[in-house]
Each structure stands twice: as structure tokens, then as C-alpha cells.
């Protein structure tokens, strides 16, 4: 079968679970990951390797990686904030690592208690360790709060690009941009990714656009039109803040897949099976609201996925 046109990287088990209070049992995480894989999702960010004291939701990271490795053809992606986490992720057998690096000094200090310069250095350490122990494992660095910061406000675009290029020079195989706070707009998204691709070309990583203000899909489309071909999203838009009802997390994967497929852009994912995977999630987290527009509305009459449109 031909390669899909875009890579949809599901980040719910990491991005979604880290901000809800419930700790999902390992077997439920694996059932959810398995249901998404069965729908054709080829890359899933299954966990983060952080100290369990800081994030008890991720205490079973190594087990979740081990269980996910049994799913054929799945790229098992893990978030690592530092060298120690990267060593643990590689020891567990993760196929790919992603490292968040804040665009602003304020967010960096609040989030990881380190400066941006320290984080760039850490990326270099992680790449060197990877080269020795697991040269086949790609390392992605992602500039978080690249479109706006909850502490510093507006973020200088030159600074975002400078940091992204510095991360690529430090050895990151891919460098993407994250709208961690859902503050970005499509014009800004188009500008930033156009500049990033002009600087680093095929090493441009994923667009990671939160849907906090409803612009997630529009921003993803702008990124696609700028040339981005990898997108992070979360089934049922899992995420949001338990203290801010209605504030959603990432753009819902099923909505993003529907948009691309309807446009004739092949994702490799069966959207109806992906919608069905929401039931597995709902059963495991009955208290957590599920977002997304496609699931309640259903697929439109006459819908044809990209592969069928090509005949
Ligand atoms: Zn995120």
C-alpha cells in the first residue's frame, strides 16, 4: 500500500492524560492505544518519561511502551524532558523520542526549571547518547509555546525560528512547533512554518496545535498549506483543564482525519473505526468529557476517504 500523504501522530495518551487527575490503569491505556492502532494510526505518543512523583499518571511508562511494542507497524513515541528520561525511554524500547523546548525563558523556567540554553545543551546530550545506544531512534525537538505564552504573552517570531534552527543544529532530526496554549492563528501558523521549512526543509517536524480557542483545524490546514506533513492530535480532543470547563486540549484526531480525508489527503486511518475507539476511551474515563465535532454529527452522506476518491 502507498505511504499516506501525511503523518497523524496521536498524542492523547501523553498530552491528554498528563493534565487530568485520574490515573488510567495500564491495561486501559493499552486497550485505547490498541483501538487507535486498529483504526490505522501509525504513530502514538504513548507516555512521557518523567519522575513518577511529579506525574503519577506516567509511572507505568516503561510498561506502556512494552505493551505498545507488540502492535505491528506502530511507531512508539515517548516524550522525554531530559537525558535521564531519554535513557529510560531507549532502555524501554521506544522507537522515537520527542523533547519539548519552550520558546520563552519564562515558560522554560516554570515548566522544567531550566533555561532555554540549558535545554538546547540537553538536546545535544540526548542526541549523543542516542548515537551510541540506539542510532535508529529519531529524536524530535518541539518548540512549545511557539505561538503565544501564558506567562510572557506574545512570542517573537524571529526568536522562535532562531531556537528551532539551533535545535536542528544541536542534532535534533526533526524540529516542530507547538501551540501549547492554543493562542495561534492561521496567518501566524502559515508564516512560522513557511520560515521554518525555508530554514530546515525536510527536517521540519510536527505541527502541534491545541484547540483551546477553536482554531485547531484552521491552524493545521494553514500548516499543511505551508508544507507541513506531520500533525499531532488527540482522540476526542482529550486534554483541557479540570478547572476550566469547556477548554479543550489538542485538536480531535477524528476531526483532523476527517478534514484531510474529505480533502483527498490520505492519512492511512479509517475514520469510522477511529470514532469507534472513543468508546474504549469513554469506558476507561467515564468522568472526562470527550470533545470533537465529527463523532456527534457522524460522517456525511456520500463521504469518500482519500483512497476511494482516487479510485
Ligand atoms: Zn500539547
pLDDT mean across residues, the chain? 95
CA–CA dist 277, 143 (Å, integer): 30
pLDDT tens-digit profile of 55-72?
Answer: 899 999 999 999 999 999
Rounded average pLDDT over 133-156: 96
Instruction: Find cell 484526531 and name the residue.
Output: 253
Structure confidence at residue 246 (pLDDT): 56
Structure confidence at residue 243 (pLDDT): 52
Distance from the alpha carbon of residue 183 to the mean position of ligand 1, in angstroms: 12
Positive or negative, the CA dihedral 181, 273, 59, 115 is: negative
Over 70: is that where the pLDDT of 109 sits? yes
Distance from the alpha carbon of residue 70 to the mean position of ligand 1, in angstroms: 26
pLDDT tens-digit profile of 262-283?
Answer: 999 999 999 999 999 999 999 9
CA–CA dist 38, 277 (Å, integer): 9
- pLDDT band at 13; cut points 50, 70, 90: very high
Distance from the alpha carbon of residue 250 to the mean position of ligand 1, in angstroms: 6
Distance from the alpha carbon of residue 229 to the mean position of ligand 1, in angstroms: 18
pLDDT tens-digit profile of 170-182?
Answer: 999 999 999 998 9
Rounded average pLDDT over 201-212: 96
| CATH fold for domain 7-309 | TIM Barrel (3.20.20)
Q: What angle do CA 110, 114, 119 make, to 5 degrees?
A: 125
Distance from the alpha carbon of residue 162 to the mean position of ligand 1, in angstroms: 21
- pLDDT band at 242; cut points 50, 70, 90: low
8 Å CB contact between 227 and 194: yes
Rounded average pLDDT over 189-205: 98
Q: Which residues pair with 75 in a beta bridge?
A: 43
State the cell numbers at 113: 526549571
Over 80: is that where the pLDDT of 204 sits? yes
Structure confidence at residue 32 (pLDDT): 98
Ligand 1 ion: nearby residues, β-carbon < 5 Å: 15
- CA gyration radius, the chain: 18
Distance from the alpha carbon of residue 234 to the mean position of ligand 1, in angstroms: 9
DSSP annotation of 100 reads E
Distance from the alpha carbon of residue 124 to the mean position of ligand 1, in angstroms: 23
pTM: 0.96
Nearest residue to 216 via CA among 175, 188, 187, 182: 182
Structure confidence at residue 111 (pLDDT): 85
8 Å CB contact between 255 and 217: yes
For the chain, how are helix, strand and coil distributed in percent, rounded to 5? 45, 15, 35
Distance from the alpha carbon of residue 180 to the mean position of ligand 1, in angstroms: 5
Q: Which residues are catalytic?
A: 241
Structure confidence at residue 220 (pLDDT): 98
Positive or negative, the CA dihedral 75, 81, 86, 88 is: negative
| Percent over 70 (pLDDT), the chain | 97
Q: Which residues pair with 176 in a beta bridge?
A: 142
CA–CA dist 259, 108 (Å, integer): 33
Please classify residue 83 by burial: count the beta carbons closer than 10 Å to its beta carbon, then call 0-12 exposed, 13-18 middle and 19+ buried.
middle
Q: What are phi and psi of 117, to 5 degrees?
A: -60, -40
Over 70: is that where the pLDDT of 244 sits? no
Amino acid at each position: 500500500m502507498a505511504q499516506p500523504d501525511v503523518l497523524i501522530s496521536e498524542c492523547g495518551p501523553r498530552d491528554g492524560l498528563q493534565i487530568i487527575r485520574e490515573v488510567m490503569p495500564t491495561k486501559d491505556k493499552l486497550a485505547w492505544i490498541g483501538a487507535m492502532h486498529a483504526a490505522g494510526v501509525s504513530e502514538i505518543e504513548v507516555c512521557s518519561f518523567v519522575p513518577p512523583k511529579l506525574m503519577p499518571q506516567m509511572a507505568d511508562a516503561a510498561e506502556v511502551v512494552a505493551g505498545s511494542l507488540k502492535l505491528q507497524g506502530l511507531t512508539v513515541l515517548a516524550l522525554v524532558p531530559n537525558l535521564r528520561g531519554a535513557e529510560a525511554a531507549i532502555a524501554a524500547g521506544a522507537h522515537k523520542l520527542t523533547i519539548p523546548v519552550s520558546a520563552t525563558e519564562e515558560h522554560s523556567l516554570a515548566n522544567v526549571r531550566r533555561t532555554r540554553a540549558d535545554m538546547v545543551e540537553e538536546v545535544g546530550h540526548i542526541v549523543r547518547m542516542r548515537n551510541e545506544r540506539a542510532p535508529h531512534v529519531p529524536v524530535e525537538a518541539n518548540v512549545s509555546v511557539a505561538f503565544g505564552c501564558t506567562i510572557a504573552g506574545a512570542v517573537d517570531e524571529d526568536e522562535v525560528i532562531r531556537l528551532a534552527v539551533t535545535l536542528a543544529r544541536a542534532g535534533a532530526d526533526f524540529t516542530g512547533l507547538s501551540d501549547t496554549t492554543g493562542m495561534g492563528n492561521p496567518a501566524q501558523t502559515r508564516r512560522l512554518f513557511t520560515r521554518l521549512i525555508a530554514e530546515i526543509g525536510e527536517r521540519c517536524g510536527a505541527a502541534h496545535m491545541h484547540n483551546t480557542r477553536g482554531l485547531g483545524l484552521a491552524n493545521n490546514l494553514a500548516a499543511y498549506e505551508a508544507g507541513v506533513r506531520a500533525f499531532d492530535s488527540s482522540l476526542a480532543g482529550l486534554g483541557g483543564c479540570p478547572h476550566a470547563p469547556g477548554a479543550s486540549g489538542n485538536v480531535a484526531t477524528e476531526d483532523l482525519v476527517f478534514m484531510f480525508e474529505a480533502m483527498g489527503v490520505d492519512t492511512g486511518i479509517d475514520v469510522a473505526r477511529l470514532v469507534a475507539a472513543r468508546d474504549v476511551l469513554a469506558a476507561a474515563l467515564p468522568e472526562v468529557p470527550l470533545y470533537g465535532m465529527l463523532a456527534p454529527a457522524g460522517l456525511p452522506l456520500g463521504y469518500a476517504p482519500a483512497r476511494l476518491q482516487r479510485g
